Structure 1
Amino acid sequence: MRNFSSIGQWPMGLVCDTPVPYYEVGVSCGLPNEMGQLPPEMILLPSEITRGRSVFIVDADGDSMTGVGIYSGDALLIESTQRVHCGEVVMVSIDGEELLKVYYVDDTGRHWLLPANDKYQPCELTADMNVRICGRMVCNLSAPHVSVKHCGEVVRQFKAKQKQHQPDMYERLTEAVIQCSHLFWAASAWAVVYCVMRDKYCYDKPVAEFERMAQALKLPATFRFVCGEGSVQRTISNHEYMRKSIDKWEEQGAADRELKLMTVLIKELA
């Protein structure tokens, strides 16, 4: 019995442990069990996908749904149900032909099947049609899927790699602050330093730890604006834009002196 990896990709860590019928025919060819097909092949999928539902897999056929990322040959997971909602991608049998379209109910209560490609026309479901809802699409198994856990691991590895290739941050920050000392206007300017470190150089330590590091920097005696305890946190709390990425500061109304210090710091820390 094949597992899911033979027809698609799923986030690492999921175990393929649930057998699901896989009919290797296009949706528009009709349901296999109605066409006298041989028993379907069983494909193992992770239970996190099936979630105890009655599901099966079919291949997409044609290009009418490319607008929602469904291409000919894609393996689609379908839940067997006649309860579908407006806006869902559904599998419908019309006069014996199975179609995959978007189900829609307009403001007058009329029911439609909509393609996701301008080459094709919407189809209104009327009383003279032999219509049967076969199910709704759960997901496109052929599309790439990435878990949040995997994304977090990628970011952690990236940060670790960055730190390996960076010189000692303490020394770099000391030199950068010295070069920018003429741009400091008060102790609150340290909030700009912290935000630059946070957004551009993956500094992920608490604000209080940054303040202690800033206080320990070996700066010239002529440097007047010492980073006081709690000064960075208070400044950030009083300026909403500082809680956002520094890339958005200008449009959020940051002061010119803050933007200038930010720009020079980025250059000096590079």
Structure 2
Amino acid sequence: MLLWPPIFTPRVRVPLFADPCAAGFPSPAQDYVESELDLNELCIRRRASTFFVRASGSSMEGLGLYDGDVMVVDRAEEASHGDVVIAEVNREFTVKRLQLHPRLALLPMNPAYSIIYPEELQLLGVVTWFFNSTRARRR
């Protein structure tokens, strides 16, 4: 489902801690905030050409993109080899990794899905960010 026109909420700044969080062996925690982080500034370069859309299906799970995740898509971003894109294939939209060489292809990030070799390619935009909830997949 495309969310258009985009719905923007007032900017909310949240604390950004100075020290990164170790994803391996934990280190002692620091008790100070370096700055604030605005997700609008982080994720949206061009407000007029950016929209959000939810992912559907499991073809991009190898990338960490799951059914129901929210993608940030920029229509003005020029797509490059290796970018994750929203493309129109057979009058339907799909999200895949773009391969420009040696042959034009849309690559799923799940081996259960087939590579798409389009004759023509209509791109809706480049996925610049996506968000998922770690709690949504707990069962």
Map of 2:25 onto structure 1: none
Compared CA separation, residues 76 and 133, structure 1 to 2 (3 A): same
Q: Which has the higher strand share?
A: 2
Displacement of 1:49 in angstroms is 1.9
Map of 1:118 onto structure 2: 111
Map of 2:94 onto structure 1: 99
Residue 14 (structure 1) aligned with residue 64 (structure 2): no
User: In structure 2, the residue corresponding to 1:123 is in which secondary structure?
Assistant: coil
**Matched residue type, 1:125:** P
Two-structure CA RMSD over aligned residues (Å): 2.5
Alignment of 1:58-73 (within 5 A): 58-73=53-68
TM-score (norm 2): 0.65
**Matched residue type, 1:65:** M
User: In structure 2, the residue corresponding to 1:77 is in which secondary structure?
Assistant: strand
Compared CA separation, residues 49 and 84, structure 1 to 2 (3 A): same
Contact kept, 8 Å, 1:91 with 1:136, in 2: the verdict is: yes
Once the two structures are superposed, residues 116-153 of structure 1 have per-residue CA deviations (whole angstroms, 9 ceiling, x without a partner) of 000001010115xxx31100100112268xxxxxxxxx
5+ residue gaps in structure 1? 16-44, 145-270
Map of 2:130 onto structure 1: 140
Following the alignment from structure 1 to structure 2, what is the Cα–Cα distance between the partners of residues 3 and 60? 25
Following the alignment from structure 2 to structure 1, what is the Cα–Cα distance between the partners of residues 60 and 72? 15
**Matched residue type, 2:37:** L
User: In structure 2, the residue corresponding to 1:72 is in which secondary structure?
Assistant: coil
Following the alignment from structure 1 to structure 2, what is the Cα–Cα distance between the partners of residues 86 and 48? 23
5+ residue gaps in structure 2? 1-7, 17-35, 135-139
Bigger relative CO (Cα 8 Å, ≥ 6 apart): 2
Following the alignment from structure 1 to structure 2, what is the Cα–Cα distance between the partners of residues 2 and 90? 25
Among 38, 48, 66, the residue aligned to 2:42: 48
Once the two structures are superposed, residues 88-139 of structure 1 have per-residue CA deviations (whole angstroms, 9 ceiling, x without a partner) of 10000123200000000232xx210000000001010115xxx311001001
Displacement of 1:51 in angstroms is 2.3
Q: Between Structure 1 and Structure 2, whose CA radius of gyration is higher?
A: 1
Q: Which has the higher helix share?
A: 1
Following the alignment from structure 2 to structure 1, what is the Cα–Cα distance between the partners of residues 130 and 99? 20
User: In structure 1, the residue corresponding to 2:82 is in which secondary structure?
Assistant: coil
Following the alignment from structure 2 to structure 1, what is the Cα–Cα distance between the partners of residues 40 and 77? 24
Compared CA separation, residues 90 and 143, structure 1 to 2 (3 A): farther
Compared CA separation, residues 99 and 140, structure 1 to 2 (3 A): same
User: In structure 1, the residue corresponding to 2:132 is in which secondary structure?
Assistant: coil
Among 81, 85, 89, the residue aligned to 2:80: 85
**Matched residue type, 2:55:** A
